[in-house]
């Protein structure tokens, strides 16, 4: 698929919830200010290396992969079909040697492309739309374009040469959640690519990162249910190896322990941050015969899917089962009953992530700690709470 371009006078804005997966999206934003942010400091721990006599050459890659220079060139440029085994050897050699093609080296000497790269796990749903609005607002004001790549169609990708972005066409990268593996991030860091981690961390590397108070928000939400008298609280968590899932689960278990409640393994199932996995989780809980009076889904989309299944099973929300979620997506307030949830500042996360990346590009050292943004408990009717004056009360 060809890249989709947004921008220019009178051009249409990008859709808020794109559904195309595994495609490239280029957002050409309006040029503005912040030209001073282009300068790189020598103290920058992730400043990209400049071309030097010691840099690996295309001949080194060819020798390591046991192929001709012409074959390496074809792999790098994608100009001809190459046998899968040969392709794998060349990409492995490129990654091992940290090889940077000469065209990239020329761009590095200019030290600017006026473009920021975004690696998303998946381009879909309200989370992507909210994140992108925050990212775009700050990038646009700083005069940067956006190059966005979805990893959903390439879950096993682990070669730097396999993604269409890098030092040759971006000044820095935002890596969202579990879009790529830790090893992939380490390879990018070794190339001195300015990076910011969003909704994830990587111990051992001095990289700037931003996320929200997942554990605190989940704990307050479960404690709210406990305060309403619930003792059997089911939990549909997010996907494994996802930091948001991990911290929200910790909040759930800490709330139970703090109130002397024993965790029943039959009340916890794994989901995947989607309506479909929320529905599947609710069906699994019902199939187990697990008794529960409340259900905490680790995000709103899963909560919405779970409510549909509970209703279909003849269980009323909140009369029979209280249901709560996390994130406060737009539809959370409009479903019936309106969803009690934790409001996460998704757009603000995007804005702060770009500010951190611009600072990294400008040569600022990374912050000592992950930037942790506060969340807000929003009480609506799905938990059984009945406010006296209105249907929504932040706490």
Taking the C-alpha atoms of residue 87 and residue 75, their distance in angstroms, rounded to an integer, is 7
Tokens of 25: 């999206």
* Share above pLDDT 70 across residues of the chain, in percent, rounded to a whole number: 75
DSSP three-state, residue 133: helix
* pLDDT, tens digit, 9 for 90 and up, residues 188-243: 888 888 999 999 999 888 999 999 999 999 999 999 999 999 999 999 999 988 99
Taking the C-alpha atoms of residue 231 and residue 267, their distance in angstroms, rounded to an integer, is 11
Q: Specify whether the CB–CB gap between 48 and 191 falls below 8 A.
A: yes
* Tokens 């998946």 belong to residue: 122
DSSP assignment of 371-384, as one string? EEE--EEEE-GGGT
Average pLDDT over all residues of the chain: 80
Cβ contacts of 278 within 8 Å, gap of 6 or more:
236, 271, 297, 301, 302, 303, 304, 305, 306
Which ranges in 198-316 belong to alpha helices (H)?
214-227, 243-258, 275-288, 300-312
pTM: 0.71
Q: Specify whether the CB–CB gap between 59 and 93 falls below 8 A.
A: no
Cβ contacts of 281 within 8 Å, gap of 6 or more:
236, 269, 270, 271, 297, 302, 305, 306
Taking the C-alpha atoms of residue 164 and residue 78, their distance in angstroms, rounded to an integer, is 11
Looking at per-residue pLDDT, the higher value among 387 and 81 belongs to 81
**Structural domains of the chain sorted by starting position, each given as residue range(s) with its CATH number in brackets:** 4-211+349-373 (3.40.50.2300), 214-345+376-394 (3.40.50.2300)
> According to the model, what pLDDT value does residue 367 have?
85
> According to the model, what pLDDT value does residue 23 have?
34
């Amino acid at each position: 698929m060809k890249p989709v371009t947004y921008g220019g006078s009178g051009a249409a804005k990008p859709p808020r919830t794109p559904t195309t997966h595994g495609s490239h999206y280029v957002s050409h934003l309006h040029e503005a200010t912040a030209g001073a942010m282009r300068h790189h400091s020598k103290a920058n721990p992730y400043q990209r290396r400049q071309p030097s006599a010691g840099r690996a050459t295309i001949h080194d890659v060819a020798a390591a992969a046991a192929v001709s220079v012409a074959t390496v060139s074809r792999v790098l440029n994608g100009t001809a079909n190459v046998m899968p085994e040969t392709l794998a050897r060349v990409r492995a050699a490129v990654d091992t040697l940290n090889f940077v093609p000469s065209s990239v080296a020329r761009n590095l000497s200019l030290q600017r492309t006026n473009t920021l790269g975004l690696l998303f796990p998946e381009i879909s749903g309200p989370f992507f739309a909210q994140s992108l609005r925050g990212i775009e607002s700050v990038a646009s004001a700083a005069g940067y374009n956006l190059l966005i790549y979805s990893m959903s169609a390439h879950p096993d990708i682990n070669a730097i040469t396999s993604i269409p972005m890098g030092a040759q066409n971006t000044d820095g990268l935002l890596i969202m959640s579990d879009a790529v593996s830790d090893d992939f991030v380490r390879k990018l860091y070794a190339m001195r690519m300015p990076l910011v981690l969003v909704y994830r961390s990587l111990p051992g590397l001095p990289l700037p990162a931003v996320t929200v108070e997942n554990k605190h928000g989940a704990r307050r939400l479960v404690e709210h249910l406990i305060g309403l008298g619930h003792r059997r609280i089911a939990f549909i968590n997010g996907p494994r190896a996802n930091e948001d899932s991990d911290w929200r689960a910790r909040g759930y278990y800490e709330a139970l322990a703090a109130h002397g409640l024993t965790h029943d393994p039959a009340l916890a199932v794994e989901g995947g941050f989607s309506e479909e996995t929320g529905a599947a989780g609710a069906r699994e809980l019902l199939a187990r015969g697990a008794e529960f009076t409340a259900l905490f889904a680790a995000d709103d989309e899963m909560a919405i899917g779970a409510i549909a299944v509970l209703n279909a099973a003849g269980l009323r929300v909140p009369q029979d089962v209280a249901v709560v979620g996390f994130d406060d997506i737009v539809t959370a307030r409009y479903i019936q009953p309106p969803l009690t949830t934790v409001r996460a500042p998704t757009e603000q996360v995007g804005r702060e992530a770009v500010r951190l990346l611009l600072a990294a590009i400008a040569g600022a050292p990374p912050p000592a700690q992950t930037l942790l943004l506060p969340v807000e408990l929003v009480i609506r009717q799905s938990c059984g709470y009945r406010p006296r004056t209105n249907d929504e009360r932040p706490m």
